[in-house]
Structure 1
Amino acid sequence: MTASMLMIYKTFEQLTRDDIYAIAKLRQDVFIVEQNSIYQDLDGLDQNSIHYLINDKNGQLVGYGRYREVESLRKVKIERVVFLSEVRGMGKGEVLLKQMLADISRSYPEYEIVLSSQTYACQFYHRLGFVEFGEPYDDGGIEHIGMLYSQ
């Protein structure tokens, strides 16, 4: 992360009203408006997730991701990884994912780490150690596939 960017993580209870608004706006701006995907973003899972926020030097949220434990499956799911278009391709996604993977591996050493990737982004996740599983599927009009972290 550069000096002009700050990454923090918080539980849902630690998020401020401004954090929650900024997260919802970023996810809406990218996933629903930019990608033209109509889906239920506010899924009731934020309350049980750890949230990673990347802010620029002015305090604007430019990147985000969350993870949550799925205890019944002994898995941790990484979800809602998103960046504003103007900061994509600058390595911030890799920094975010590496931090999330390190934190998850420490907290849940016996759990599998999974995510659902838009198929066009699979190469990005391959570089971080993920492999596809299952068949591609439609999620909000965008093709996705399950991915497993192969450490």
Structure 2
Amino acid sequence: MIVSVFQTSDIDTCLALRRVVFIEEQGVSEQEEVDGLDSEALHVLATVGGLPIGCARILQKGVTAKIGRVCVLKEQRGTGLGAKLVQKALELASQNAGIDRAVLGAQVHAIAFYEGLGFTAFGPVYDDAGIDHRDMERLL
């Protein structure tokens, strides 16, 4: 099976993946998930054999790249695909002049996953869309 992870302009496919994972599986409301920021973000798409199976987005805020909306379809979790998505997002972020760090809001259960990718948690646990999160950062 051929796995590809790449920057994409196909926002509709990313939104469809996020609908499955965040809205249908995790119960996030559509109003919270579709926040109107996708048109200003860079998007990363993962495919296996040409079929979309995961995505992420990157928003630039000053010298910071905010990685978010990282999702992988349930049947592909545990394969290393999530790490590949985040690594590609970090690669794209580091190519932007002036960006010196990446931040993200990690679901609490995923903190160890992001720590394995070099992120460090900071600040308190907070509720985002009914799910406990914690902010994390990594210098680029």
Provide the TM-score with structure 1 as the length reference.
0.84
8 Å Cα contact 2:11-2:43 kept in structure 1: no
Which residue of structure 2 aligns with residue 45 of structure 1? Answer: 37
Q: Does 1:34 align with 2:25?
A: yes
Tell me, which stretches of 5 or more residues in structure 2 are unaligned? none
1:79-135 Cα deviation digits (max 9, x unpaired)? 100000011100111122122212212324543210000010000000011011111
**Which structure 1 segments of 5+ residues have no match?**
none
Structure 2 counterpart of 1:54: 46
Runs of 4+ in 1 over 3 A off after TM superposition: none
User: In the alignment, is residue 123 of structure 1 matched against residue 121 of structure 2?
Assistant: no
C-alpha change, 1:122 and 1:51, in structure 2 (3 Å) is same
Of 37, 61, 86, the residue aligned with 2:75 is 86
Cα deviation, residue 150, structure 1: 4.1
Please say which structure displays the higher CA radius of gyration: 1
- Tell me if the contact between 2:56 and 2:69 (Cα under 8 Å) persists in the aligned partners: yes
SS at match of 1:103: helix
Q: Which residue of 2 aligns with 1:5?
A: 3
Supply the RMSD in Å over aligned alpha carbons.
1.6
Q: Deviations over 1:30-67 (max 9, x none)?
A: 1111112225211111111110011121x321010010
Identical columns (%): 35
TM-score, scaled to structure 2: 0.90
Q: Distance in 2 between the 1:103 and 1:22 partners? A: 19
Within-5 A mapping of 1:94-105: 94-105=83-94
Q: C-alpha distance in 1, partners of 2:74/2:11? A: 20
1:21 to 12, 17, 20: 12
Letter in 2 for 1:111: D
